[in-house]
Amino acid sequence: MDDFLAQGTFRVRCDWGPPGADAVGPDAAIVAVVDVLSFTTALTVAADRGAEVFPYRWRDDRAEAFAAEHRAVLAVGRSQAGPGNPVSLSPATIRAVAHLERLVLPSPNGSTVARRLAETGATVIGVSLRNAAAAARWTASRLPAGAAVAVIASGERWPDGTLRPAVEDLWGAGAFIDGLLGQGITGLSPEAGAAAAAYRHVEPDIRAALLDCAGGRELVTKGYPQDVEIAAEAGASEVVPLLSGESFRPARPTANP
């Protein structure tokens, strides 16, 4: 990887998807993974309930065995949810289920990036619009002097499998970066600064922006408007999902000074 792609002269870096994670993540002290529609939104909803969440790259033939091994519920695809499978990738189902201790949450985007970064030894947190402010406070309270933060907007996939930058992830990344600025952490790369500016542009009506963007329209069209509404709950969560070993566990930021 060329050094200029690593944004290594900046304290706060931002890039897209697994390749971007490979570029800017390895030497960062803390890495924030952002997948607003819907992996990290689902992750924060589960964390609010105190649940332990195991990220999983794909819902393949091994996913059920993995869930059974960890005595966890396996989230199914949205269209597969029903009485026998009450928990899906939809954050609304995670919020509605009566009891949830451990959850396996497959995602080709957010989960893949999180697992990829954890393998480098980075401290990985899950960030959505719901907990961006809390995650920024948590990061500021634990970031060693001079250490770097990497922010990975997970993005989506085009039908041919290539990365599709998703504007909702740019906004989520920007909300977190804007929060870091509010905590006195500076040294943004131009990419990180652009994400923060994009978020500030839509912040006055983030709900409308989410409903109107391509990812939001897709979920509404498919009958899942509640997932967009939950994703738009900016600042609603004080919990920071922290990847420890194979799973995310809830953490909380220290109080503001």
User: Is pLDDT of 21 > 90?
Assistant: yes
Residue 132: the pLDDT is 98
User: Residue 254 — pLDDT band, cuts 50, 70, 90?
Assistant: low
Cα 78 from Cα 93, distance rounded (Å): 9
Residue 195: pLDDT band with limits 50, 70, 90? very high
Enumerate the domain spans of the chain: 3-43+108-246
CATH topology of domain 3-43+108-246: putative 2-phosphosulfolactate phosphatase (3.90.1560)
- The confidence band for 257, taking pLDDT boundaries of 50, 70 and 90, is very low
At 148-171, the pLDDT tens digits run 999 999 999 999 999 999 999 999
pLDDT digits (tens, 9 = 90+) for 63-88: 899 999 999 999 998 988 888 889 99
